[in-house]
Amino acid sequence: MTATKRPAPAVPGGRPSSDSDPVRVSFRRYAGVRTRVLEVGDPVQDPEQSASRRSLRRRAAAPHVRPSAPRLVLLHGYCDSADTWRPALEQLAAAGIPAIAVDLPGFGDAQPLRPGPMLPQLDAFTTAVVREQAVLGSVVLAGNSLGGTMSLRAAQNSRLPISGVVSIAAPGFVDSWLIRTMARYPLPLRLYSSLPVPVPGFLVRKVAEQLVPRLLYANAASADASQVQRFTALFPDYRATKSRLEQARQLVAELADAYRLDSVKVPLLVVACGKDKLVTAASGRQLHTLVPHSRLLVREDWGHCPQLDDPEEIAELLTYFAASAVRTTQAKRAAASAADGVAEDTAAG
């Protein structure tokens, strides 16, 4: 008898799951939060194996050890998950670029955020991810939307071993549609939250199915059905939707004091998207103005999540920027070290 193998369903991004999946999935704990990790390239060694994480750090810091290829850490936006980066991760895997994407606390398969301010919790989480990845090489952070905010906030911390940052559609710089909608809590949202009878779950999901492609993609007609389904699953019923709206209001309030951009010294690439319906391209241009050494890329054909619109080009962009950022950062550190050596010699003389 010959067994018949049924065709495997496609995974987000359109690759049939019968193909060899280059993306490894695991669960780890960062800053006390258990989360899901999508990874390509060399994995971080388990600390319980023969070499401890401490000895790995010593080896990575030793002057005779050549740094490995830049490692990309990819952060998603609000109400998203690491899966938004899966198509780009597949492209990076094909190019031999090590990278990870993580579910931020409160989203995807990560444990929920604790009560209280959100950004400090996300800061601690991002810091832990960066320090882990820095064991194996130079880290370049790339974030979309809320992930862009977290990448910028990490770059403000001079003690973190970050070689560069890519900020894609980070909110909080120009009074965008997103800010106006959530900060001012307009009448439709107030009515929704105060309805005496909850809106049926099927109706909530139906509305989400219509809105998600229009808000996240440059062209709603080209939206990947599996990605849309993943987003709509975040709004299964009235209660969950109301909770997400309240959480979004809190986050927008925190964005008012989120940045100390004069502390950003590492190479920064700002990506602004012309068809972004949530965070306008003007926000990216303003960020570029506030960080004079940054580079600006404006793509008129990209929407709020260009990793969904054009994962191949995003992967290529991240690859080239990461290599350039690492070279620039290493050159600056070498120059600073040489200057310190001259100062010491002068003082000794």
- Condensed to tens digits (0 to 9), the pLDDT of residues 107-143 reads 999 999 999 999 999 999 999 999 999 998 999 999 9
Highest mean pLDDT among 57-66, 79-88, 185-194: 79-88
6: exposed, middle or buried (Cβ count in 10 Å: 0-12, 13-18, 19+): exposed
For position 328, what pLDDT does the model report?
A: 87
Q: How many residues does the chain have?
A: 349
* pLDDT band at residue 301 using 50, 70 and 90 as cut-offs: very high
* pLDDT, average across residues 145-165: 96
pTM of the shown model:
0.81
CB 111, CB 34: distance < 8 Å: yes
pLDDT over 70 (residue 88): yes
pLDDT top residue among 53 and 291: 291
More confident residue, 175 or 131: 131
Strand 99-102, strand 33-40: pairing? antiparallel
Residues 296, 139: Cα–Cα separation, whole Å: 20
Orientation of helix 201-216 relative to helix 238-255, angle to 10°:
40
SS3 211: helix
Please determine, for residue 62, whether its predicted confidence score (pLDDT) is greater than 60: no
The CA distance from 345 to 339, in Å, is 10
pLDDT tens-digit readout, 202-240: 565 676 677 777 888 889 888 888 888 888 887 767 677
Average pLDDT of the residues in 11-26? 67
The average confidence (pLDDT) of the chain is 81
- pLDDT, position 202: 58
- Looking at per-residue confidence, does 36 or 67 come out higher? 36
**Residue among 237, 179, 231 nearest 209 (CA):** 231
Task: Tell which wins on pLDDT, 2 or 74.
Answer: 74
Strand pairing category for 162-168 and 268-273 = parallel
H or E stretch including 309? helix 306-309
Residue 277 CB partners (closer than 8 Å, separation 6+): 177, 214, 215, 303, 304
